[in-house]
Structure 1
Amino acid sequence: MSEEYEVHGPHDHAVQHAGHHDADSFGSRMAVITAVLATIGALCAYQSGNSENLALYYKNEAAIKKTEASNQWNYYQAKGEKQNLAELGAALSPGNSDAHTKFVADVDKYKQQKEPIRAKAEAIEKEVLDNDAKSEALLHGHHRWAQATTLIQVAIALCAITLLTRKKWLRNLSFVVAAAGVALGALAFFSA
């Protein structure tokens, strides 16, 4: 009868040896830190995109309102031109004629019609300023969120390099960069 011999290679020995020892606690901690940083980075990236979208929304609203205000000012100007023509007609017509009386009534009518149009145009211009201010504030927040996301991504890359090199100074640097990213994210969150 032939007996088979099992020959173990270096890989088999390494696998058996690894199974008998404790897991790599340094690597495990760095993997958990990387996962936490990736989660925080994803949240910051979402907030960055959300802030940017809202900033664009308010900027678009400001542009629409600016057009509405321009239309109101054009309407106001048209009423003013009609008023000027009525004043001219009143000045050129004889003082006791029916035409003169009609022109004077038209002047008063156009004066009364212009005031609400002017008030509406000014109110719309205020909305334009409000929407522009909201857009600028949100865009500033977007920049903070984007900076936080970038720092957290750099910290994740440093964690990966730390796993390869096992350098404690590199691990500490990744913690500092991550802390700066989290601090910027907190600043963006509380300034919103």
Structure 2
Amino acid sequence: MPEEFEVHGPHDHELEHAAHGGDDFSSKIAVMTAIMATTGAIFGFQAGSTQNDAAMFKNKAAIVKTEASDQWNFYQAKSNKQNFAELAVTMPGVDVAKYQSDIARYKVEKEGIKKHAEELDKSSLEWEDKSTEILHQHHRWAQAMTALQIAISLAAITLLTRKKWLQIGSYGVAGIGIILAGCAWFQI
């Protein structure tokens, strides 16, 4: 059986030394990149969560708006019946008392329907406002996540170029991401 052996190229020793050596610069960048990636994942989760909430609130607003529309249609139907009853009162040979009773009943019924429809309209607007507010928060989380992704990219370039100014830039962009996350958290 032939013996197996491995031949190393001239650069293999340098790569192994860099991977296991005491390169403080690379170690710091690697740790910060891992922290930024973890933080970015949290921000991404928050962005997705707030986006879902905004969609649910928007959906609730549409459902309530449809209910309000149904009530307004019901109100209109009662108004039409009241108008026919008012017209019937003017016709000869009809039971005027019955139609006046109907007119009075339709007026009372319409008021209740109108009040309910107005409440539903108001509720729909409140759900719309909640959706808009949470969507703004979603945008802040998404901006924070994007800033951290840019910071991670800058960190990768920093490792390749070993430029201190890129390291500072990466940390600065990560700081902007943290500030944006704070704005999202406090709904600013």
Normalising by the residue count of structure 2, what TM-score does the alignment of the two structures yield? Answer: 0.89
Instruction: Give 1:15 deviation, angstroms.
Output: 7.8
Q: Equivalent residue for 2:182?
A: 186
**Does 2:184 align with 1:168?**
no
Instruction: Give 1:92 deviation, angstroms.
Output: 2.0
Instruction: Give 1:164 deviation, angstroms.
Output: 1.1
Check 1:133–1:113 CA distance in 2 against 1; reply closer, same or farther (3 A cut): same
Instruction: Give 1:64 deviation, angstroms.
Output: 1.1
Task: Tell me how far apart the structure 2 counterparts of residues 15 and 161 of structure 1 sit (CA, whole Å).
Answer: 18
Letter in 2 for 1:120: H
Q: Equivalent residue for 1:138?
A: 134
Q: Equivalent residue for 1:4?
A: none
Check 1:189–1:76 CA distance in 2 against 1; reply closer, same or farther (3 A cut): same
**Does 2:151 align with 1:152?**
no
Larger CA Rg, structure 1 vs 2: 1
Contact 1:55 1:138 in 2 (8 A): yes
Where in structure 2 are there 5+ consecutive unaligned residues? 1-6
Check 1:53–1:113 CA distance in 2 against 1; reply closer, same or farther (3 A cut): same
Instruction: Give 1:90 deviation, angstroms.
Output: 1.3
Letter in 2 for 1:183: I
Aligned partner of residue 186 in structure 2, secondary structure: helix
Q: Equivalent residue for 1:32?
A: 31
**Does 2:102 align with 1:106?**
yes
Letter in 1 for 2:109: Q
Contact 1:93 1:100 in 2 (8 A): no
Task: Tell me how far apart the structure 1 counterparts of residues 107 and 38 of structure 2 sit (CA, whole Å).
Answer: 63
Check 1:15–1:80 CA distance in 2 against 1; reply closer, same or farther (3 A cut): closer
Q: Equivalent residue for 2:51?
A: 52
Letter in 2 for 1:100: V
CA-based RMSD of the aligned residues comes to 2.2
Check 1:15–1:61 CA distance in 2 against 1; reply closer, same or farther (3 A cut): closer
Q: Following superposition, which runs of at least 4 residues in structure 1 exceed 4 angstroms of deviation?
A: 7-16
**In the comparison of the two structures, how many residue pairs are matched?**
181
Q: Equivalent residue for 1:80?
A: 79
Task: Tell me how far apart the structure 2 counterparts of residues 46 and 72 of structure 1 sit (CA, whole Å).
Answer: 39
Letter in 1 for 2:129: A
Where in structure 1 are there 5+ consecutive unaligned residues? 1-6
Instruction: Give 1:12 deviation, angstroms.
Output: 7.7
Instruction: Give 1:93 deviation, angstroms.
Output: 3.7
Deviations 1:129-166 (A, max 9, x none): 01100010111111111111111000000001111111
